[in-house]
Structures are given as structure tokens and as C-alpha cells.
């Protein structure tokens, strides 16, 4: 066994797969190279700012890039948020806009919402702008990539959450206590659906007017520009706004 371990260790060393990543990243920065960091998990699964205790064990917000890579906050020049046009969650935890009806089933089916690692069906619901705004506050998004807009193409009516009430009072921030989430009342803004396919559209101007209204409202509510819009699963299924 010791001999096998030694052989594996020597092979790994020869592949040069392990090194000083902090030093490497900073050497690239000093050469003027751009570095793209992709995070995992949603912002509200963050161990500090998420819907505790239904969170992951690490920092899924932008601060995790600093602590995980050994870079200073001043090194981060752009922060892009990736947001679905509706909302999903895997496993237990608060989900005020969850749809436990045919609409939710349609979102799950059309969007092919199945957990990548678990294989479990994702819970689906309307986009929660109240929570998205909090995510934008925490992360300081400079632009948003709005994905899977095409999943909403067939819906006659589309809603977004714009606020919460708890015990009759309007909330200015998400609940801090886990038990309070069960008693939250959601306030919605309702949109008429565009009921036409967006899958082959590649420019902003080609999108149906009602579709553009939906996107612009999201942009206005969270005060972050939506620069990219995904309208299908393919790499080229993308609208880029200048």
C-alpha cells in the first residue's frame, strides 16, 4: 500500500497540479491579466447572509472570492449576478413564492429543473425581487445575466414578488428568524404573459413588448442593469444588451 501511495504521489507531483494558487493569481494580476471567478450556490445559501439554518457551509456571496482565493476586495472590478427569470430551490428551506400547483409543475417541466448532483426535482416559483434586491445589496452586482426567460413563453400571467408582510406589517428586509418565514405574506406585481416563443430571438428589439416590460421592471426594481438575457439552452441562445 505504501508503495502504491508513493507511486501515485510521484505521478501527481509530475503533473504539476498542486501549487501556490495565491501567488499565481497575483502574478497574473501584476501582468494585467483578467481573472474570471465563478461562484457556486445561490447567494441566499451563504452561511452568513442566507436563510439560516437552510444554508451551505461556506460563503456563496462575493466575499467568498476574497477569502477563498486570497485576493483583496479592491481587486474585484465587476460582479455579475446570474438570475433565472423565475425562482428555484433544492431541498428544504424558506421559499415564499413557491408554487405547489400546475403552474409550479409547468415551470419545473419546461425548465427541466432537476438538481445536478442530487437528481431531485427543484422546487419552483415566481421570481422574488424582494430577495433579489437583498442579494444585489450584499454582492454589489454591476450587471445581471437573466437566464431561462424562454421558460415563461407560454404563461398567460406572470408574477414577481415585490414585498413581504409579517403580522400585517410591511417588511423592509427579509426575516431574521427562521420561524418567521412560515408567516410571511407575499405582495406581487402581475404581468400579462407574452405567449410567444423567444427562443430564436437574438436582439433586444425583437423581444415581445410585454417581455421587455417584464425585464425592465426587474432592472428598475433592483437597480442593476440586465446586460445578458438567456432564451434557450444553447450557447448562442443569448441576447446581449449594450
Inter-residue contact 107 to 148 (CB < 8 Å): no
Question: Cβ contacts of residue 69 below 8 Å, gap of 6+?
Answer: 21, 22, 25, 37
Binding residue ranges? 41, 56, 116-122, 148-150, 230-232
Binding residue ranges for IMP? 41, 56, 120
Binding residue ranges for substrate? 116-122
Largest CA distance in the chain: 69
Binding residue ranges for GTP? 122, 148-150, 230-232
Residue with cell 414578488: 161
Q: How many CA atoms lie within 13 A of 129 on its CB side?
A: 21
Helices (H), 73-205: 102-110, 129-139
- Give dist(CA 127, CA 105) in Å, integer: 15
Amino acid at each position: 500500500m505504501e508503495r502504491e501511495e508513493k507511486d501515485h504521489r510521484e505521478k501527481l507531483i509530475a503533473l504539476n497540479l498542486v501549487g501556490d494558487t495565491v501567488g499565481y493569481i497575483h502574478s497574473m494580476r501584476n501582468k494585467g491579466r483578467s481573472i474570471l471567478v465563478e461562484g457556486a450556490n445561490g447567494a441566499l445559501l451563504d452561511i452568513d447572509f442566507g436563510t439560516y439554518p437552510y444554508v451551505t457551509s461556506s460563503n456563496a456571496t462575493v466575499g467568498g472570492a476574497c477569502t477563498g482565493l486570497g485576493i483583496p476586495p479592491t481587486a474585484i472590478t465587476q460582479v455579475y449576478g446570474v438570475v433565472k427569470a423565475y425562482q428555484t430551490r433544492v431541498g428544504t428551506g424558506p421559499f415564499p413564492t413557491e408554487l405547489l400547483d400546475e403552474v409550479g409543475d409547468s415551470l419545473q417541466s419546461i425548465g427541466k429543473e432537476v438538481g445536478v448532483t442530487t437528481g431531485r426535482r427543484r422546487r419552483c416559483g415566481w421570481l422574488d425581487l424582494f430577495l433579489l434586491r437583498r442579494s444585489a445589496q450584499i454582492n454589489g452586482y454591476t450587471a445581471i445575466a437573466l437566464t431561462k426567460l424562454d421558460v415563461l413563453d407560454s404563461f398567460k400571467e406572470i408574477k414577481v414578488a415585490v414585498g413581504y408582510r409579517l403580522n400585517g406589517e410591511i417588511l423592509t428586509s427579509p426575516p431574521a428568524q427562521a420561524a418567521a418565514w412560515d408567516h410571511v405574506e407575499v405582495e406581487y406585481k402581475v404581468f400579462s404573459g407574452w405567449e410567444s416563443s423567444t427562443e430564436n430571438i437574438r436582439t433586444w428589439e425583437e423581444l415581445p413588448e410585454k417581455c421587455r416590460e417584464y425585464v425592465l421592471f426587474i432592472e428598475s426594481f433592483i437597480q442593476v442593469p440586465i446586460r445578458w438575457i438567456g432564451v434557450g439552452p444553447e450557447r448562442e441562445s443569448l441576447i446581449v444588451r449594450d
